[in-house]
Amino acid sequence: MRLAKLITPKRINTLGVIKITALTMLTVSFLPAAAQDNSPYSRYGLGDQVPSVNIVNRSMGGVSAGFTDPFTINYANPASYSWFQSFKEARSPKLGSGRAILDVGINYESRTLREPNNNSPVGKFTASNLLFSHVQIGVPLRSNWGLSFGIRPVNRISYNMIKRERLTDPISGTNIDSAQTLSEGDGGAYMPNIGTGMRFKTAKNQWLSIGVTAGYLFGKKDYATRRAFINDTVAYNAGNWQTKASYGNIFFNAGLQYVINIDSRLSATIGAYGNWQQKLKATEDRIRETYYYDEAAGYTRLDSVYEDRNIKGDIIYPSSFTVGFMLQKLPKYDGEKREGGWSLGVDFSQTKWDNYRYYGKVDSVRNRWELRLGGELRPAPNPNSYWSNVAYRAGFFIGPDYIHVREKLPMYGITAGIGLPLVQPRNSQARNQYTLINLGFEYIKRGNNDNLLRENLFRLSVGMSLSDLWFIKRRYD
């Protein structure tokens, strides 16, 4: 019989994938409702920016422009989608089969606010959160073509501040009344997305990958300032100045990577990605009212002083770009002499927040740049040592935040993380499956004694990457 080649579809545990995806989507719905964050800087712009890279990349200081990994999804640069394969297949695409990936994650955050030049316990506030990070699925369509889709948060608004003060007569200087002002905000944005990446061989051992992602960026902003006068003899009605807005539109970004395979294990990658300036359609409600507060019923309106609803407008979302370089050496798994691997990368990013507009108005934001440096170490694999199969990551980043209230808001962070593989028995029916638990640790400082507030953030991220062969090539005579 002549030699024939068959492509046999792999029966993936579809029900399990559906269950995990459904569980993650429920997490999206319930985690924000349980959040108890308090970040006053989220009042400006579109709020606090949520990390835009995978947990693996965050552990490496955020480097992502030139990053590729067959077991996780680098959704920051869609050009990486063309590498949904095993390490060996990435070097020789004609060998073997592609690998489908389900990547999910959550974040635990602890944020501490401090008044400038005040290190006493009275001058600080700490709040903790459990928040959704991302859910992303990657599928290899061909040996050089991949597809990915999912959903992730983009930014978050959450603050609650109370100011109590004594009002005085400006002429006589005598006390008149006391007043209390409550400023609170809520909201944020998400982006479901779908992207694709393809790669082309440009020369011997050199590849060019390009990718594009389309998504729908949608969110809301809800700002309220509630002011009440406190008087022993005269009753005043409290006032509420509130603005609610919802926005959304189709959003695009693109990326590229150029990979040079120096030898069978060492490669250098130049990468870039970004988005151009885009317009979000918005609808705003402006409410001015008097109210009273009841512990059982909450805020109840007494009288509407002014109300204007469904005001149409635009939000200008600024352009951004990231460029980077990564040098990577793969581990050696075969043969008697096993060797470890490593990767080292650097990124530079910039976002043109000076061009941000909300209904044609500027805000307390400025252009932002960020420098990132990080790497990963993989020891020489040893079948008798689990920890030799663990990936160890570290990095740091530095650059001013895009919020600019009175003074520039400096920010820097240090990161670390590990990748823990779940080993499958060799005789298991799931021996082709590969599950990786990624733990990421970030410590971020924002602001100094020249700013209104100093902010320290500790973030623990937990992600799970599940992958299996997408198809298997078999031969028979």
From CA 235, how far away is CA 226, in angstroms rounded? 16
417 touches 60 (CB < 8 A): yes
Confidence of residue 470 (pLDDT cuts 50, 70, 90): low
DSSP 378-424: EPPPBTTBGGGG-EEEEEEEE---SBEESEE--EEEEEEEEEEEEPP
213 touches 193 (CB < 8 A): yes
From CA 41, how far away is CA 444, in angstroms rounded? 15
- Residue 22 pLDDT more than 60? no
Q: What's the mean pLDDT in 376-397?
A: 91
Q: Which residue has the higher pLDDT, 397 or 140?
A: 397
Distances 79 to 125, 198, 258, 272, 296 between C-alpha atoms, Å: 42, 7, 9, 9, 53
Domain count, the chain: 1
From CA 396, how far away is CA 375, in angstroms rounded? 10
Candidates 162, 168, 241, 190; CA nearest to 31 is 190
pLDDT of residue 230: 78
Distances 274 to 64, 77, 235 between C-alpha atoms, Å: 12, 8, 56
Q: Which residue has the higher pLDDT, 241 or 5?
A: 241
Distances 289 to 160, 223, 296, 305, 394 between C-alpha atoms, Å: 20, 14, 20, 5, 51
Q: Domain range spanning residue 68?
A: 4-476
Q: Which residue has the higher pLDDT, 164 or 309?
A: 309
Q: pLDDT tens, 331-380?
A: 887 766 788 899 999 999 999 999 999 999 999 999 999 999 999 999 98
- Cα 377 to the chain's mean position, in Å? 23
Q: Which residue has the higher pLDDT, 89 or 423?
A: 423
Q: What's the mean pLDDT in 52-70?
A: 94
How many residues are given for the chain?
Answer: 477
From CA 431, how far away is CA 453, in angstroms rounded? 52
Confidence of residue 119 (pLDDT cuts 50, 70, 90): low
From CA 472, how far away is CA 138, in angstroms rounded? 17
Confidence of residue 91 (pLDDT cuts 50, 70, 90): very low
Confidence of residue 121 (pLDDT cuts 50, 70, 90): low
pLDDT of residue 45: 93
Pick from 9-18, 183-192, 366-375: least confident: 9-18
- DSSP H helix total and E strand total for the chain: 3, 22
Distances 10 to 14, 16, 423 between C-alpha atoms, Å: 11, 15, 20
- When mean pLDDT is compared over 33-42, 108-117, 456-465, the highest value belongs to 456-465
Q: Is the pTM of this model over 0.75?
A: yes
Mean pLDDT, the chain, integer: 84
CATH of the domain at 329: 2.40.160
- Residue 183 pLDDT more than 60? yes
